[in-house]
Structure 1
Amino acid sequence: MRLRFKRLQWRIAVWFALILLTVQLGGLFLFAEIGRSSALEEVDARLETGDRVFSRLLDQRNAQLAQAARVLTADYGFREALLSRDAATIESALENHGSRIDASLMLLLDLDETVIGAYPDPTRIASPRLTQLVDEARRDGQATGFTLAQGRLYQLVVVPMLAPVPVAWVVIGFVVDEPFVRDLKHLTGLEVSFLVQSPSSPRQIAASTLDAAGQGALLNVAEARSLEIDNEEYRGHTHTIEALEQTEIFAVLQLSLKGALAPWERLYREWSGLSLAAMLVMVLASLILGRTIASPVSRLAGFAREVGSGRYAEPPAVERGDEIGQLADAFSLMTEAIASREARISELAYRDALTGLPNRVHFMEQLHAAVELAALRAQQIAVLTLDIDRFKLINDALGHGFGDLVLCEVGRRLRVAGVRQRDLSADMRLDGNAAARLGGDEFGLLIPDADDTVARIVAGRIATALEHPMSIQGQLVDVRASIGIALFPQHCTDAGDLIRCADVAMYKAKRHNATVEVYDPTHHQRNAARLSLLTELRQAVERDELVLYYQPKYAFKPDKALHLEALVRWVHPQRGFVPPMEFIPFAEQTGYIKAITQWVMNRAIQQCAEWQRAGREIHVGLNISARDLLQPDLPETFVRMLEAHACEARLITLEITESAVVDDPRNALANLERLRATGCSLSIDDYGTGYSSLSYVRQMPVHELKIDRSFVMNLTTHPGDEIIVRSTIELAHDMGLTVTAEGVETEDILLRLGELGCDLAQGYLVSRPLAVADLDVWMANSPWARSGSISSSA
């Protein structure tokens, strides 16, 4: 027997028996703790996953609510009702839209936050939080948040109604109630409770999936991390929704440990029985346990690490019906559940919900990967961006719902006509046939291993596919796209730069009414020059590099006053004279025209005041851009300048174009009335080249009408132009307006204008634009300075 104990296997058997006995006694206790710890980890992992899903669902809901509010603000009838302050129509629109989206509250607030219309009860929400949300929307363009009112928690969304500046606020409220939290429970798999806490009142539950006992227990604990309800233990996670100065709104996500502990409790009981049997077959058990427990547990542990790193492969096959098999099944179920939730989250993050195509985020990830692979293989990549032409017209004419259907059809045709996967190697095949919706009506396409020729072929195939009429809801729609192409590495070596270059080419195609344009590096040079021009233009105003020239007008009838038009000129220190057509349109596009207009107004009024003090009766005309006319402070600024220089308003004529009124008739006409009240004269400049109707001209409180040079220059050679000019003069005189003809360059035209009854003539025949010093010489010596001298000068 002694010799037998010298053998390793027997010593192992004896020691194993002793150790096993001790381990089994203490192991049962440890096993229970391990099982509980694993269950807690599993529940905590599910709580963390549920918290991410809960956060994404709230973000998605916020986006959906904001979109629903913007649909209402874009409704033409609703905008018209707001402008006319038709209370009945406003309330009806609020009620209809609220019913469609199942809103609990619909409010339309004036800019001072007074209620214009409400459904169903304007007093239901009376909270300082609403004022905060309006301030956030004023700053950020929209705002969403939660507030407690009348004992109920509301989710609010505030968006401005633009025309084009904010004219009102649309507020939509959704009560956080039991159906809402039940939906969240269904999506997250967790118990969900919304709580509100403030220093002035006890914590209260706004909505919860827990029963009354569970809600009472939740209110009585300071920390919801661990909670016992009806002898059942719950783990909890607190998700802060809003932490305001006086109120904190948060959600408590909970999950019972019962389901997670069940496999471990069963395993614990069975392990006890197994321990007794193991004592009888100790040596054999050591071999069996080594072969049947350690190996599969090790494989399951390795699989758990794979899951932890985000790789959801098939779990290792464990063909057993005992605890190890149950553990493997639990791993399998857990993996499937986590993978399913991760897939849903990924779909929300990387897939466009409308067209089913990858979104911009997914497309950029594909593009980054493709660029890295192409750089390693020394291959080319083509990126296409396309924008649907006249898509805004489709939305405006047929509605945004119809426009969404058009985008879906465009996405379908892109999948068919885009990159053909059979032409690519297996490691280059991309999701969605390499097509993605980048936003709005803009789509992108990635073509691996493609040069300029291949890119043009694919672009042509897409253009042809889109040009076929679309039959949507019985309506035939013709769609055309502008496509831009950028190539790697010829144009850019960075994914973000490729998209930007393709956009530059696409917008060039749109401007030139072309279907396909390939990026030209000189575009960047021109853009850099334009950016430099903007910087220098700002400096020109600050350094007083701009100058005013004045172009005289000839009066056909005797008039003691002289009429001039002030024209801005730029004398650049390095570039020299910069023509107005090179910087005025650019200033209008960038919004800097306001600073230039104020500079011109101030200098012209100052000069007019100096002439007035010198005893000269000189009337000065100033050009006001469309952007300037819509500035609400323009009349006050104009009056301040007149007062600062002691200039009479009657000596100033403000010239505006027809399009300035067409863009925003309501605000433009209101500003014109306020300007007229100052005592100045108003003139319609470039008449005949805009898009307005005579009804706008009739409504405009103007004194003068200027016929555009395009109708005057061929007056004596084109009978059609003469008919237009004669009719315009007669119409203007019938309306009590003075008529000025621009572009007079020959005496024949001047004589004919006099015969047609024109009042004033302006052009190079009379004089070119002159500096102030040259203008003094012209007034002293030129026969054109004396009104009514047409016969003698001719």
Structure 2
Amino acid sequence: MGFKSLRSKLIAIFVLVLSLLALATGLATLSTMKRDSEAQATEILNVATKVLRQALDIRAEQLSDSVRILAADFGFRRAVATAEQETIESVLQNHGSRINASLMLLLSPQGQLLASSDIAISMSDITPLFKQTVSGSNTTVADIIILNGQPYQLVLAPVKAPALIAWVGMGFPLDAPLAQEIKSITGLDISFVTKETNSIQLKSSTLDPAYQQLLPESLPLLLQQANTPLSNTEQDYISVALPLDKLQQLWAVQHLPNQRWLSSYQQFRQQLLLIFGAALSLALLVAFIFARSITRPLDALSLFARRIGQGFDDAPPAGGNDEIGLLGTTLHTMQINIRQREQQLLYNAEHDFLTGLYNRAAVDRLLPDILAQHAGSLLQINIQKFKHLNDVLGFNNADQLLVQLVKRLQTVLPQPLLLARLGGDEFLLVYDSLLTIAQVQGKLALLSEHYQLDNSVINIKFRAGVYHFFQSQQTVNDALRRTDIALDHALSTATHIAMYLQGQDESHQRDLTLIRDLPDALQNGQFYVVYQPKVDISKRQCHSAEALIRWQHPQLGFIPPDQFIALAEHAGNIGLITEWMLQQVLCQTALWWQQGMQVQIAVNLSVHDLLNPALTDNICSLLNQYQLPAAALALEVTESAIMQDADTVVRQLSQLRALGINLAIDDFGTGQSSLAYLKQLPVHEVKIDRAFIKDIENNANDALIVAATTQLAHSLGFSVTAEGLENRAGLPKLLHCGCDKVQGYYFAKPLQADNFSQWLLQFSTDNQSWFTAESIA
């Protein structure tokens, strides 16, 4: 069982709380018991001290009584008075024997030792006690003193007849027998210790010999802290020292065995540990049962939740009325809601919200099986000019139109294998038969007419692309791409229906390759610029040219400009081409101007360039960079570009004209509204499209159009350039029509910069070969 599981955590918490509680209780109880036991031990020692002092006091009273009796004895007083030494010693011996006194003394009133039962005792030993008699000669004196190295409890009493004639004393030794006697009374061991100036000596003790050897180490501290119980870790006793004499030279040390006060404490501690161990074992058992009762339902719920997450539809585990049961009910409800939500999400993910048809995601899922198992046709249709219908009808009516169209797709036409809305107004129908153009026309005829919208009848037209697929030969991406290619080609057919033809996919892939490679091609030298002269035929001079871009692809070879320019406009990369072109052209033009060849070079702009608000600033910056006047640059714009957003284009051209840049309308005559806007355009030049020039010598209508256009342009203040002159025969016609400049293969094909420089030099020195008398007659 890992500690990360809930069961282990519950058990751990339960046991930890119980252990902490038991530990706190045990520590508090044991601490209290220990303090109580220590207090009891102190009390025992205090009682023993009192008993010791009381025992010594009783002995002192016995000695005092015996001494006073002896001092009052008539015979003894007479013997003392008459100095009968033998009688004195006999009396002292007799009286000492009666009370078992070990020492009998007789002193003169001046303190001289007259008689003693111990001949080893000297006068100097008695002096400390005798000094206590000076203050009161009629009073008995008792003290404990050391005589000849042995502690004695000694009493002195005055002998009077009637005046003081002597002092008589009796004493008991404080030795091992006394210690044993006191131990028998107190129940404690006792040691007698003498303390001299620089040493402490153990005189007698009831302790075991082993403990007696350890006692001297602790005596200094015991004597220093008198009457205070102290314990020693090396001894199993608590000891207390008390002085026995007034000079504190004799001490009694009482010893209380630790076992007497620790036994109950240790016994209780052992019982407490047993109780704690039993409680902990019981707690473990209860915690395990309790945790299991919680975790087993939770494990079942967890498994149930995991299977819900994996998509299994299981019955919920049995639950009760507690929170776990409520959780199980909640999970079951969640399972039902999730299943419903998944079904709804799955439906929404694969169905169009407006029409309810399959969407592109569903097509990606379902179409592979169809392509693998069938041979047939993919039919993709869309409504022509549907954006215009949206603008005219409004979005709500346009949506209603799509809904009605879907109903017809589902009911009027034969049911396809798959019907889906790919987006907007595009629908995909998959059939298991190879459709013909006639069959598609029949289907579209059923869909085209009589749509009721706001009490109006609407007829719509369709564009359709058809792709025939064969079993297990196509991927979904290939099939849809080829169907879309066919739909694009339907724009150029009369029926607006097109079949996918072999090779169109390769052309489409080629276009994608060109779009992909174009940005890098601009950087790695695949593009280059050529220049085609624009000859002033009236002055027979050439001071201008048109710059044209060329692309030599390393794999695909030469790419015609009309191909990659259109692709760049669709892909949004035309700005890159224009920026590169202006850089290259102005750099080359600056070089020519430095060489004395002041030519004006024209660059074509697309509608995307004219809609760029930064165009004027960018061109001005480039002119400043290459130190060229604005007259060195000309810009050409097609009529179709102007028509897309005339107001914006006119404002942009006005800004460029204000810089001093020459502006021209390219391919004039091919637009639909050229005359209406011509008077508003801030341009300098009109270039007549080559469609009217290439056959002008043979087509009188072309000549009339060119003449009329030239006259109109001149009347509006524009110069006229004719594009596409390819032979000598057309030159007189253009001179007759009044054209100012001519551009075409007759004078020169588009030339690279070095070749253009050579051609320009040749033309400036010998231009008569182009203008013979026959050609201009």
TM-score, structure 1 as length reference: 0.51
One-letter code of the match for 1:390?
A: K
Distance change (3 Å), C-alpha of 1:445 and 1:713: same
Aligned with 1:420: secondary structure?
coil
Question: Which residue is 1:393 aligned to?
Answer: 388
The whole-number CA distance in structure 2 between the counterparts of 1:331 and 1:769 is 78
Question: Which residue is 1:531 aligned to?
Answer: 512
Question: Which residue is 2:205 aligned to?
Answer: none
Larger C-alpha radius of gyration, 1 or 2?
2
Offset, 1:457: 7.9
1:342-741 map, 5 Å: 348-367=348-367, 370-371=369-370, 375=372, 378-380=373-375, 382-420=377-415, 434-447=418-431, 450-453=432-435, 459-472=440-453, 473-489=455-471, 491-492=473-474, 494-512=475-493, 514-520=495-501, 522-558=503-539, 562-573=543-554, 577-741=558-722
The whole-number CA distance in structure 1 between the counterparts of 2:638 and 2:668 is 7
Two-structure CA RMSD over aligned residues (Å):
4.0
Q: After alignment, is 727-736 or 562-571 more displaced?
A: 562-571
One-letter code of the match for 1:452?
A: L
One-letter code of the match for 1:359?
A: N
Aligned with 2:707: secondary structure?
helix
Aligned with 1:643: secondary structure?
helix
Cα deviations by residue, 1:717-762 (Å, 9 ceiling, x for unpaired): 3333233222211221121111111112233422122122211111
Question: Which residue is 2:175 aligned to?
Answer: none
Cα deviations by residue, 1:48-98 (Å, 9 ceiling, x for unpaired): xxxxxxxxxxxxxxxxxxxxxxxxxxxxxxxxxxxxxxxxxxxxxxxxxxx
Identity %: 32
One-letter code of the match for 2:386?
A: F
Offset, 1:468: 3.7
Q: Does the 8 A contact of 2:384 with 2:460 survive in 1?
A: no
Aligned with 2:587: secondary structure?
helix
Q: Does the 8 A contact of 2:376 with 2:434 survive in 1?
A: no
Q: Which runs of 5+ in 2 are unaligned?
A: 1-303, 316-329
Offset, 1:349: 4.4
Q: Does the 8 A contact of 1:350 with 1:361 survive in 2?
A: yes
The whole-number CA distance in structure 2 between the counterparts of 1:547 and 1:499 is 37
Q: Does the 8 A contact of 2:531 with 2:547 survive in 1?
A: yes
The whole-number CA distance in structure 2 between the counterparts of 1:561 and 1:306 is 84
One-letter code of the match for 1:746?
A: N
One-letter code of the match for 1:403?
A: A
Q: Does the 8 A contact of 1:766 with 1:784 survive in 2?
A: no
The whole-number CA distance in structure 1 between the counterparts of 2:557 and 2:349 is 53
Question: Which residue is 2:732 aligned to?
Answer: 751
Distance change (3 Å), C-alpha of 1:588 and 1:352: closer
The whole-number CA distance in structure 1 between the counterparts of 2:310 and 2:726 is 83
Distance change (3 Å), C-alpha of 1:500 and 1:531: closer
One-letter code of the match for 1:661?
A: I
Q: Does the 8 A contact of 1:555 with 1:788 survive in 2?
A: no
The whole-number CA distance in structure 2 between the counterparts of 1:456 and 1:730 is 50
Cα deviations by residue, 1:491-537 (Å, 9 ceiling, x for unpaired): 41x44544334323333334545554444563332233333334444
The whole-number CA distance in structure 2 between the counterparts of 1:661 and 1:705 is 13
Distance change (3 Å), C-alpha of 1:694 and 1:782: same
Distance change (3 Å), C-alpha of 1:626 and 1:784: farther
The whole-number CA distance in structure 1 between the counterparts of 2:376 and 2:557 is 44
One-letter code of the match for 1:722?
A: A
Q: Does the 8 A contact of 2:607 with 2:641 survive in 1?
A: yes
Distance change (3 Å), C-alpha of 1:308 and 1:574: closer
Question: Which residue is 2:167 aligned to?
Answer: none
Offset, 1:788: 13
The whole-number CA distance in structure 2 between the counterparts of 1:702 and 1:350 is 55
Question: Which residue is 2:249 aligned to?
Answer: none
Q: Which runs of 5+ in 1 are unaligned?
A: 1-301, 314-329, 422-429
Aligned with 1:746: secondary structure?
coil
Distance change (3 Å), C-alpha of 1:632 and 1:718: same
Runs of 4 or more, structure 1, over 6 Å off, are 305-308, 310-313, 330-343, 455-458
One-letter code of the match for 1:764?
A: Y
Distance change (3 Å), C-alpha of 1:553 and 1:336: closer
Distance change (3 Å), C-alpha of 1:595 and 1:340: closer
The whole-number CA distance in structure 2 between the counterparts of 1:629 and 1:653 is 14
The answer to whether 1:769 aligns with 2:750 is: yes
One-letter code of the match for 1:773?
A: D
Distance change (3 Å), C-alpha of 1:510 and 1:490: farther
The whole-number CA distance in structure 1 between the counterparts of 2:335 and 2:583 is 73
Q: Does the 8 A contact of 2:308 with 2:335 survive in 1?
A: no
Q: Does the 8 A contact of 2:670 with 2:689 survive in 1?
A: yes
The whole-number CA distance in structure 2 between the counterparts of 1:414 and 1:604 is 56
The whole-number CA distance in structure 1 between the counterparts of 2:674 and 2:747 is 31
Q: Does the 8 A contact of 1:417 with 1:461 survive in 2?
A: no
Q: Does the 8 A contact of 1:744 with 1:762 survive in 2?
A: yes
Distance change (3 Å), C-alpha of 1:307 and 1:603: closer
Q: Does the 8 A contact of 2:377 with 2:466 survive in 1?
A: no
